[in-house]
Amino acid sequence: MKRLLRKSVMRFVLLALIAAMLGSFVGQATAQDKYPARAIEYVVPWGPGGGADQLARKSAVLLEKILKVAFPVINVPGATGGTGITKLLAGAADGHAIAIYIADSHAVLATGQATWKMSDIVPVARMILAPSFLFVAENGRFKSWADFEKEAKAKPGTLKVGTLGFGSVDDITLTYLEGKGIKVVQVPYSKPSERYVSVLGGHVDALYEQAGDVRQYITGKQIRPIIVFGTERFAAFKEVPCSKELGYDIGLPQFRSIVAKGGTDPKRVKILSDAFEKAAATPEYKAFLEEQYSTPDSYMNAENTAKFIKSELDTMKATYKPRAK
């Protein structure tokens, strides 16, 4: 009788241990499957205060409410966005790090200067689409594009234009214009704050930029656009001619998208994409788009963003013509 009792007790203990082990395995699997399980690092490959930084900080607040985890914003400027992309790629492909990926970083691929490949990243969403302009000081000598164009052709290589950097969309556009007889000197500024005020201080004659990034200087009557790059005029600046009507077939838009490291689980990419869609639909974000002079249809999900940036890369490659050495 005692032997049977002892066997029953041992069998019970053994079953209890097995059940505990199984429960532990299930608990671990559940913890691993939960996403997001912790804070998601939000890499901005540009300095504080610029358009990419503004997007990250605006969307981070909205995403934290949606996904219930923190989105700490980390600025990692350098190499036309390359330094920040490198930081993203150095981490795990688990969806706990994302980065702002803009047209200027994308252009580095087209110009052959990138240290990464498209397969290294996976698109999550497009959050901003906006045209680029050339701005001049309100009290400067250039009153219109015609004035700027005339002097640029008469004195090639003397006018200075502030840009984001070489290999960027700015660079591709100015290289295109050079092929049309508008030769200027490109002055790159890695820090957005320095770039924005360069035209005010007379360090450059014009500034290549998106209107939303310099809104305070536009509304403050300190700078004004003289040309918008695209196929049509922009509603907020109807008096400003577009490049197409002036005979310049160049209009690479500025886009700001979100990417994760290539190889991230598609299910996690979708969770992120859906969260960004919810953020984009909020009144706060819609107001932000208006402030940025962006198109109302700026948001795209992961699948459509992938198609969009592939198309943009093809266009950039077809447009870019290296300067003669």
| CATH label of the domain that carries residue 151 | 3.40.190.10
Residue 61 belongs to domain with CATH number:
3.40.190.150
Residue 59 and residue 204 in one domain:
no
Residues 195 and 49 in one domain: no
204 in any annotated domain: yes
pTM assigned to the model: 0.82
Specify if 22 maps to a domain. Answer: no
213 with 158, same domain?
yes
* Pair (290, 212) in one structural domain: no
What total of structural domains would you count in the chain? 2
Supply the pLDDT for residue 1: 47
Average pLDDT rounded to a whole number, residues 295-305: 96
Do residues 118 and 168 share a domain? no
* Domain end (from 192, 207, 237): 237
Beta carbons within 10 angstroms of residue 286's beta carbon: 15
Q: Give the chain as a 3 state SS string.
A: CHHHHHHHHHHHHHHHHHHHHHHHHHHHHHHHHCCCCCCCEEEECCCCCCHHHHHHHHHHHHHHHHHCCCCCEEECCCHHHHHHHHHHHHCCCCCCEEEEEEHHHHHHHHCCCCCCCHHHEEEEEEEEEECEEEEEECCCCCCCHHHHHHHHHHCCCCCEEEECCCCCHHHHHHHHHHHCCCCCEEEECCCHHHHHHHCCCCCCCEEEEEHHHHHHHHHCCCEEEEEEECCCCCHHHCCCCECCCCCCCCCCCEEEEEEEECCCCHHHHHHHHHHHHHHHCCHHHHHHHHHCCCCCCCCECHHHHHHHHHHHHHHHHHHCCCCCC
Q: Is the dihedral of CA 280, 54, 52, 100 positive or negative?
A: negative
pLDDT for the residue 4: 47
Percentage of the chain modeled with pLDDT above 90 = 80
Sign of CA dihedral 252, 135, 213, 204: positive
142 domain residue, yes or no: yes
User: Mean of the pLDDT values across residues 164-185?
Assistant: 93
Question: What range defines the domain where residue 269 resides?
Answer: 41-129+254-319
pLDDT tens-digit readout, 188-225: 997 888 999 999 999 999 999 999 999 999 999 999 99
The reply to whether 122 and 259 lie within a common domain is yes
Phi, psi of 131 (to 5 degrees): -80, 165
Query: Is residue 307 one of the residues assigned to a domain?
Result: yes
> Does residue 295 sit in the same domain as residue 151?
no
**pLDDT tens digits for 102-158?**
999 999 998 888 999 999 999 999 999 999 999 999 999 999 999 999 999 999 999
322: confidence class by pLDDT, cuts 50, 70, 90: confident
Whether residue 162 is found in the same domain as residue 230: yes
pLDDT band at 13 (very low <50, low <70, confident <90, very high): very low
Please, which residues have CB within 8 angstroms of residue 88's CB and are 6 or more apart in sequence?
A: 43, 97, 98, 99, 121, 259, 260, 261
Split at pLDDT 50, 70, 90, the class of 10 is: low
pLDDT class of 30 with cuts at 50, 70, 90:
very low
Partnered with residue 42 across adjacent β-strands are 73, 98
Q: What is the pLDDT of residue 321?
A: 78
Asked if residue 243 is part of any domain, the answer here is no
Whether 156 maps to a domain, the answer reads yes
- The verdict on residue 9 lying in a domain is no
Which residue among 179, 206, 237 closes a domain? 237
Measure the CA–CA gap between 315 and 323, rounded to whole angstroms.
Answer: 18
Last residue of a domain, one of 183, 206, 237: 237
Average pLDDT over the chain reads 90
Residue 11: the pLDDT is 58
The verdict on residue 8 lying in a domain is: no
Q: Is 164 in the same domain as 307?
A: no
Q: Does the pLDDT at position 185 exceed 60?
A: yes
Same domain, 151 and 232: yes
